[in-house]
Copies of this chain bind each other. A is one copy, B any other.
Amino acid sequence: MKYPNGKPYKKSEEVNKAEKGHRSLLSAANRGMSLEEDINLSNDFYRETGRALINKRPTPINIVKVDYSHGARITDAYFEKQSTTDYNGVYKGRYIDFEAKNTKSTTSFPLSNISEHQIVHLKNVIKHGGIAFFVISFQIQNEVYLLDAKFVIEFYEHGKRKSIPYEVFKESGLLIKQDYSPRLHYLDAVDQLYFK
């Protein structure tokens, strides 16, 4: 099969993904959207509706060279490891701090996704009275959970396995409702867990 311009027709990754199944109608609408995009859109919604002010921290970059001949253009730089988490902000006067991660595993969330810096950071958040959690997306199940950071810290520091079993999320986490606006109703889970 070819396009009118003679180029061979190639199924887009989008189409391939969608055809693979494993996806509800809702997630089909979401296809191509990453967890990060879902959270960013949810944060936009929460900000615009005046519910909370939560932002993504920019990726830290170490700049080596800048060319000023046509405005400031970065011509050499590299990514630095994020020593904190991806998201923070303020909700009902409280400080909120969380990390969001995907996994393709159906049985557990691998802790190799988390850096020790982030564990230290989240322990600090808790110590200073902030709210700290993880948003973990089990992509195959199409389920997104909010899990208090204490569980992750406990598994990271004292767990025998290098992962957190899926059951822990089902039992101790909260399933986040997926929707259009916001994409992820994660503040409802925050309300339930921290403001009751």
Please list the residues of chain A having a beta carbon within 8 angstroms of any beta carbon in chain B.
Answer: 47, 50, 52-53, 55, 57-61, 63, 71-80, 84, 88-97, 121, 124-125, 127-130
Contacts and interface: CB of A to CB of B under 8 A. Distances in A.
A47 B124 contact: yes
Contact of A58 (B58, B73, B92): B58
A74 B78 contact: yes
Contacts of A59: 58, 61
Contacts of A73: 76-78
A51 B92 CA distance: 22
A94 B75 CA distance: 39
Contacts of A60: 58
A76 B75 contact: yes
A124 B53 contact: yes
B91 A88 contact: no
Nearest 6 Cβ contacts at the A-B interface: A93-B129, A90-B95, A58-B60, A74-B77, A90-B130, A95-B95
Given A58-B60, A58-B61, A129 B90 contact: yes
A127 B50 contact: yes
A129 B89 CA distance: 11
Contact of A92 (B77, B88, B128): B128
B128 A91 contact: yes
B95 A93 contact: yes
Nearest to A54: B128
Given A95-B89, A125-B90, A55 B78 contact: no
Contacts of A76: 73-75
A131 to B, nearest CB: 9
Contacts of A53: 121, 124-125, 127-128, 130
